[in-house]
Structure 1
């Protein structure tokens, strides 16, 4: 009812919608509590700054990098590698996943190989990727590609397979060709789920950044973290890690907002 007062117990009702300001504000509560606890632990001297520097020291390190131009330079390089690696994986994963989701022969042919390779530890492939692609950006992009591609293929396959088969049968009854069914029925129906897969997998790509910049990199956010490890500069390690997480969060938010605009017709089904 309009004007009906919101009660606290309604926050804990199963699948109950809550006011948007309450929903948004709640996302800041836990981080604020953790930061306050972090500050209190350091101020009380329970942990030495060498092992856990305070929030102030971490912010000071971030400001130092920003003033010297290090932060923006490293971020630009890392974002380029992330985008290039994710795009390369996506451009190939989409058609392969669609084929596997629509044709059992392709699923039978490719699924065992793809399912096996997605469990291969990416860090173990660093020596091979250096041998194949050298030590330039190509090697970093290849690591990000490998870390993203195989799981993305399987997720897109599932996105396509989850389409109601009765829609496909209806298209066949109307005399649509395979290409028409794909273009007019399958892809529009699967598009919101595929977009969510994009959003999830670009997050995975961010998690592989430090691995990609582990060896033979002279710049990048991951490289900065690895260099700081040598000198036990824990404030630099913490800042770099948190900054990568922040960039990943911004990327996730952008994908979410773009998806809401592209697929407004699907909002009621989520």
Structure 2
């Protein structure tokens, strides 16, 4: 009896599998430079096209050089940095332990959370009149307004990070004989670290966003103060110098926090 060989429907296991060529990734630094060049180009075109009152990049650069030459810009930057850093540091240092208490202990959550949610709905700028009346017109009310903006952003992120810790990890640590302190230090804190650092970045943005309003309180120096003075004289180049300085300082501080986040959460998968 003759046997007929049927064609094999399955592909041979030895057949070569086509490999897609990997896409070349464009360096992020190059993309940032291209974005910066495009932004400056659009800004220059807008200042010449129809927005006659809009100062161009060169006019703003000349004004920045003049303010830097007489020491005005450096003094304003140092004054604003001191206020932002102090308010942000105090807000973060208080927010992290309170967020841990709210997330770990139900009693603390029930006692503190209503106040946190209440003050989150009140804009920090609305607190300025109360701060002036109760704290005067010195540095204290300025720093307090920045502190409040940073604190409210960071405390919610920390609280959310604690309650989102995988319960399986906590139970596994307890089964292995870990005490509550060990579980908290070796499981809860590392697992909630990404949330804390994201909350710090949001709090830093809130601090810089509140700076100009905080320096309304009888300030004599600072980027926000300089912008408000320039507004009175319709000095648009000085206003742009203040805006760019605030943006650059905020960007540098945010990148430092992002670097710390990558160092502290190296175990986390990223795209």
Normalising by structure 1, report the TM-score.
0.87
Residue of structure 1 in register with 2:98 after alignment = 96
* In 1: Cα distance, 2:75 partner to 2:38 partner: 32
Using the TM superposition, give the Cα deviation of residue 149 of structure 1 relative to its aligned residue in structure 2, in angstroms: 1.1
Residue of structure 2 in register with 1:226 after alignment = 228
* In 2: Cα distance, 1:125 partner to 1:263 partner: 36
Residue of structure 1 in register with 2:187 after alignment = 185
Residue of structure 1 in register with 2:13 after alignment = none
| Selected match of 1:39 from 44, 47, 70 | 44
Q: How does 1:11-160 map to 2 (within 5 A)?
A: 19=25, 21=27, 23-44=28-49, 46-49=50-53, 52-160=54-162
Using the TM superposition, give the Cα deviation of residue 2 of structure 1 relative to its aligned residue in structure 2, in angstroms: 11
Would you say the 8 A contact 2:146–2:214 is kept in 1? Answer: yes
Residue of structure 1 in register with 2:197 after alignment = 195
Would you say the 8 A contact 2:197–2:261 is kept in 1? Answer: yes
Q: 5+ unaligned residues in a row in structure 1: which ranges?
A: 7-17
Using the TM superposition, give the Cα deviation of residue 262 of structure 1 relative to its aligned residue in structure 2, in angstroms: 2.9
What's the Cα RMSD here? Answer: 2.0
Q: 5+ unaligned residues in a row in structure 2: which ranges?
A: 1-17
Normalising by structure 2, report the TM-score.
0.87
* In 2: Cα distance, 1:19 partner to 1:2 partner: 18
* In 1: Cα distance, 2:26 partner to 2:138 partner: 46
* In 1: Cα distance, 2:122 partner to 2:95 partner: 17
- How many residues get paired? 254
Residue of structure 1 in register with 2:14 after alignment = none
Q: 1:201 to 1:95 in 2, by over 3 A?
A: same
Q: 1:256 to 1:36 in 2, by over 3 A?
A: same
Residue of structure 1 in register with 2:165 after alignment = 163
1:44-94 CA deviation, whole Å, 9 max, x = no partner?
3x1222xx1111111111111111111111111111111110111111110
| Selected match of 2:215 from 213, 216, 224 | 213
